[in-house]
Amino acid sequence: MDLKFATIQEIKSLIEKKEVTPEQVLDFYLEQFAVIDPTIKSALEVFDKASILKSFSGKGLLAGIPGLIKDNINQEGRIASCGSKILENYTAAYDATVISRLKEEGALLVGRANMDEFAMGSSTETSAYCKTANPWDTSRVPGGSSGGSAAAVAAGLVPWALGTDTGGSVRQPAGFCNLVGLKPTYGSVSRFGVIAYASSFDQVGVFTHTVYDNALVYSAIAGVDEKDSSTLDLAKKDYTENLTGKFPTGLRIGVVENALEAAELDPEVKKVVEQAITDLEKAGVTVQRISLPALDYAAATYFILSRAEAASNLARFDGVRYGFRAPDIANLEEMYTKTRHDGFGQEVRIRMMVGNYVLSSSHAGKYYNKAKKVQRLIRGEFNEAFKDVDLLLMPTQACPAFKFGAYDDNKLQMDLQDYFTAAVNIAGVPGISIPCGFTDSGLPIGVQLIGPHLSEEKLFQVGHAYQQITDWHKKNPKV
């Protein structure tokens, strides 16, 4: 039995036909972790078989399907480290809502995925525990901050995984690893039990090989939650029901021209994305070129607002209530400063300092308040664009997966990894990255489709139809 790179849809069919049992499926993937993950290092922890099966409901949309969970999403009784030393021994006291829903739908949750510390990074290099490798080239990063989740699915260790997307942290790794990566509408998936980075941008997202599988997992986790007042009043539904494999009649896609002409865009990425546009036109989709001028300000706006929210959210980690506490301290002030200095990594400390700076009374007017105004401008441009087109299209990533340490001396360039993704979070709309080709050296590239609020169903329909006319998602790394 070889289920490596099998889709959820395929595994469900095998289980339903009784050709394989959920326990056999679990055994297969646990063996894959044991053999392959010492090289990839996608998981911070793989749970033992007995504890995984203990919560198995035996029925539901994902019955018997193993998946991996990013380590900033609480799983009751499991460590939730957020990739940080400051939470290295913190055990979650309850399940996040998405975890409860996955268990109700029969999913087998096999472990904790590595991640950039507190979801701050674009390479999974800032984790306090290890650096995750890209299965397509283990000298390169898988993207971030949900790099562990992406690498596990790309390497065939699980058929799906959860990540979180604050400024592109699901879609960019999906692009780097040849996966489908969804960032849903803000509020469509509960954040209860998700350790916050920037609360007004954070959203739980999904990694899979196919759009169909992505719709299936989204169906399991989406919907209103009384424990999260930011969730929208969405009734439970199966988002795979209307995936016919055909493009919707009269579909209009707006290609964001200034994104394709951006100086930050690698020429090979542009070439591959342009071919994807050509493929859509050949399939009969109406494509028109549009401009989103405010896109040029999205990365800077996200830089300011996300760090401001991070400074506030991470103030709770002080060594008093839970998590790491520095030893050999003389007084309360020293406990605060030493705990936070030793417990947080450099990237997190820098982002908190920037956040406190832009929130300070003498600088808030120059930075934070202006950024909030630009956020309204960006949202307005998206809303105007969707009056003329159904979906927007632009690259997912600025460049192919890069080598470890490539931006150690150029942090500003690393921040530009969010150039094509952050605007989607700022606007609160859904976006999905879909495999669309490779560079000449064999590195994956993703194309990003963006829709208006609560247009996930249309994104799935279009993405699924695109995967019927292309086979990029069927290509897998040699691991």
Give the residue numbers marked as catalytic.
70, 145, 169
Rounded CA-CA distance 430/457 in Å is: 10
Token reading at 115: 């991640």
Token reading at 300: 């800077």
- Tell me, letter by letter, the H, E, C secondary structure of the chain: CCCCCCCHHHHHHHHHCCCCCHHHHHHHHHHHHHHHHHHHCCEEEECCHHHHHHCCCCCCCCCCCEEEEECCECCCCCECCCCCHHHCCCECCCCCHHHHHHHHCCCEEEEEECCCHHHCCCCCCCCCCCCCCECCECCECCCCCCHHHHHHHHCCCCCEEEEECCCCCCHHHHHHHCCEEEECCCCCECCCCECCCCCCCCCEEEEECCHHHHHHHHHHHECCCCCCCCCCCCCCCCCCCCCCCCCCCCCEEEEEHHHHCCCCCCHHHHHHHHHHHHHHHHCCCEEEEECCHHHHHHHHHHHHHHHHHHHHHHHHCCCCCCCCCCCCCCCHHHHHHHHHHHHCCHHHHHHHHHHHHHHCCCCCCCCHHHHHHHHHHHHHHHHHHCCCCCEEEEECCCCCCCECCCCCCCHHHHHHHHCCCHHHHHHCCCEEEEEEEECCCCCEEEEEEECCCCCHHHHHHHHHHHHHHCCHHHCCCCC
Token reading at 426: 């700022």
Token reading at 281: 């036109």
Q: Give the number of other Cβ atoms within 10 Å of residue 79's Cβ.
A: 16
